[in-house]
Structure 1
Amino acid sequence: MKKLDNLTKKIVLSGVIILAVFVLLCAWMVYEFGNNLYQEITSKPKSIVEAATGVVDHYSKLEKEGKLKKETAQELAKANLKSMTYDQDDYIFISDLEAKMVMHPVKPELNGKDMSAYLDPNGKKLFVEFAEICKKDGDGYVYYVWDKKGKETNKVSYVKLQKDWNWVIGTGVYLDDVEKKISYTVRMIIVVTILVIIIAFTISLLLARSISRPVSIIIQTLSSGAQQVAAASLQIASASQELAKGAGEQADSLEKTTKSMEEMASMVRQNAENAKKATSMANDTNSITTKGSEAMERMTFSIKDIKKSSDETAKIIKTIDEIAFQTNLLALNAAVEAARAGESGKGFAVVAEEVRNLAKRSSEAAKITSEMIKNSQIHSESGVKVVEEVKKILKDIRGSVINVNCLVNEVSAASEEQARGIDQMNIAMAGIDKVTQRNSANAEESAAASEELTAQSNELKTSVLKLCKIIGQSDTACGQKSGRS
């Protein structure tokens, strides 16, 4: 048989204790049964003796009244008591205070004999004891051994003193039937008790094993669960601390980010304002370039007019140059004619010389002027080209200014949209900050809860160890089983 575990032993021991109580209760019941049976049996002789005493008292009264002589009254009384048999074998006897047999219906040979020396098989002087009880108490019970059909049998007699004649009137009942009933009852109770013990022990054993095995499994599960809970609570505590730390750092980062976003929003708003100003300036630049293009257009026309005037002036200068050449020829002819004229022509020769000099200077001035006009025409043509180029550049500038204006408008709109987006981001960041604060608080609460969970897991381990002790397993065995499970 396998060795019982501690819990099984305790359950079986509890059953044994209950059975022991049951056995004691049965013993008490047997004792009470026997006692009640004895009382029931002994009460019958008492009532018969009292009835018999009443009969004797009746004859004693008749004797006192003088109706009967004492001897006659006593004989009549003895005859009546002799005939008062009951239960087939039971009878009434009479002795006196001197332990003499007065009347014995079954053994008449004892009548008139001194029974003071009579001993039962156990050495009891029962007739002497009858007399002593009656002398002392007036009545009582005496237990002794008496012959029953050749067999010594325990018997109990009730005796009572009839004071008028100092008779000890008694009757008894054999105890063998009582003893048989008690013995039979004891045997039945013993058999029932043994059966109950066997059944109860078997049930207790089966019940103990049916309880201890699941309890052992539950203990293993609880131990494993306690270890897992402890490990999980430590992990949760560590993670909660890390989360709280991360949440704090995240809150600081969010605060800095919020400040940066606010600064960025301010810069974006400033950019939007600058973009609006740039748009205004671009519009002004566009207007100025438009006016510049128009001025350059007018300049082009003016330069063309100047070139045209220069061309006409060049024609005039050419005419002047031709006139100067003709004048020079005329002056030469005049000088020739003056030389031919002699003295009279000297004054005319001087005039002709002056005219020739004037014509020469006029020709030279005309040439210089012509050169200057040519240069002016060249510069005018260059100016026209430059003006055309400037017009083209201004046109390009105007187109660029328009593009820039569009881009600036787009930048302004984007800046405003970005500013609104940053405002929404600031709101979102504020919400995230609140959530982070709540996460930090929750992380701290989780850390506290994990500490409480750790404490509870420790209490669970303690309870598991107590259960291990209850079922008779060592702490190491419980730990090993928990580890295997």
Structure 2
Amino acid sequence: MEWFQRIGLREKVLLTVVVTCIICASASLGVGVYFKNREFREGLVSKAQTIHSRIHVASQYVAKQGGLANMVDFYKKKYKSSDELTEEDKRIIIQQVPIYAAMRIGAVDSEKEMYSFRVFSNEPRNKDNQATPEEMKIFNRFSGDTNLDEIVHDSGRYVTVYRPVRIKEKSGCLTCHGDPLTSPWGNGKDILGQKMENWEDGKLHGVFAITSDVKMIAAENQDAGKISATTYMSGFITVGAFFALTMAYFIVRSPLETLKNVTINLENSKALLMQASEQIGEASTDLASSSKQQSISLNDTATSVKEMSSMIESNSMNAQEAANASIRSKTKADSGKAVVKKMIDSMKVIDQSNQDIVEQINQSNNELKSIIQVISEIENKTKVINEIVFQTKLLSFNASVEASRAGEHGKGFAVVAEEIGNLAQMSGKASLEISTMLEESMEKVDRIIEKTKANVDSLVLSGNEKIENGVMTAKECGDVLEEIFRNVSNVTKIASAIETAGAEQAEGISEINKALDELHQVTQKNSHTGLETASAAEKLASESRALNIIVSELSQTIYGDKKKS
């Protein structure tokens, strides 16, 4: 892309407009061609579907006329066999066949309307209609799916719409293809002398195929002098690109002149950079003079620092001792922290144990409640059974009395009374079993209570042990903290010694302060001068870098890699 860097901004803008127009035009043409081709193919499919519909309507119309049945009756009476039929007779008969009418309508004017019509089958009477291997794939798809009414196949060059032809009894198809026993001649052949296949209603007999040659139809349209939408679109895009390029030229011309003037002004800013350089030189001279005075003051400061060195050494030793004591205190403090943490963990375990006890008690209470509820329900059932037993016995007694009164006629009733007595006996037995269940339930309740008591006692005992451990841990914590207190006392004494040494250092510090006053004045002046120098240097560097970058980029953008004249 070196050539692109060498051209100017105006040429770059115009080139960008041209490339953009070309890309947009190519995309528009591509999209237009795609959708035009798709619309064209969809039109071919729609046309084929219309022809199929026309064929279907015609065949249905012929079937509804019932002409085939009339022809069969007529020629059956006229002749004794199909051998006596003349070619004219066969032509008249076949015109009444719905499938023949459909085939005729499909084939008529097919070349004029630029499509081909074909019928194929796996068992055709006319061998010309025998399905090819590729056509058998379509046939098998229709055969395997009775709900499939149409297949559209687009191979690129050809667009084909297939529709199935199925045997329909109501259309009279079984007159020729049905049970041979229904033969009009009584020889298993239809009215035309063809062998009847014994097919059933709904069987797939064949497939109608309407094929359109995409290339031929497109060429025909072109020969007819039709200008495609793609041609119109190309013309409009070309004109639009020309106007866009012209407008871009006039739009960028004025801004480019402005940018050239800005570049010239930037060149003039070099004078400002020279001025800043002179200011930096003067500031540097002042800074050198101040530095000399600062050096003298620093010599005086060094003398005072030497006098302080011995006192600082003493303080250093005391500080070291204090540091050692502090380290020991920290170690003990860490031990105390660990012990305290241990005590906290023990308390947490105790708390968890208490929660376990509460949870166990709640669970036991819930179990007791459920058992009590079961016992209550059983008791209610027992009352009902006892009531039934009482009523049953009373009924049995009354029945026996009535049977005795009836004498011979009451024997049957006596049997009923006996059965009722048996029922009462069974009810009593059930009542006994229920009583047994109550006893078992009570025993279960007792076991649950004992188990709960044992669990609670165990948890309480465990909790007491953990509490004792917590008390011991707390005692250890107190001992450690006592040791820490003694170490802190030692640190306090050492700190007092450090304080005494600090008083001795005060005199030396006073001398240092005097020297520092002089040093401060000189340093302040140096600081001020340094700030001015730094500020000027920063401005100079910043403006220089920014100016170089801006001028370089701007010049390259406007003129490219070419040098300005």
Interval of TM-score (by shorter of Structure 1 and Structure 2): 0.3 to 0.5
TM-score by length of 1: 0.41
Larger Rg: 1
What TM-score comes out, normalization by structure 2 length?
0.36
